[in-house]
């Protein structure tokens, strides 16, 4: 099945964003995350090490 994620999310407007770059995705998630938030990452693979990159970035951003 071929489909475009950005096209599928477009009707959600500003409620959804699509990032094709791992670094930009991590940066965007860290910018949006607030104390007490729960982030759920679902993947069928390592997804470029997203989980570890995100944990490291969140730790670095913590006060």
Give the pLDDT of residue 42. 86
What pLDDT was estimated at residue 1?
62
**Cβ pair 41, 51 in contact under 8 A:** yes
Q: What confidence score (pLDDT) does residue 55 get?
A: 95
Reported as a single tens digit per residue, the pLDDT across 1-60 is: 689 999 999 999 999 999 989 999 999 999 999 999 999 998 888 889 999 999 999 999
Q: Answer left, alpha or beta for residue 33, where phi above 0 means left and psi between -120 and 50 means alpha.
A: beta
């Amino acid at each position: 099945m071929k489909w475009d994620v950005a096209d599928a999310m477009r009707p959600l407007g500003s409620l959804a964003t699509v990032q094709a770059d791992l670094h930009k995705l991590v940066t965007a998630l860290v910018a949006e995350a607030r104390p007490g938030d729960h982030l759920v990452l679902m993947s069928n693979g390592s997804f470029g090490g997203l989980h570890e990159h995100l944990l490291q970035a969140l730790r670095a951003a913590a006060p």
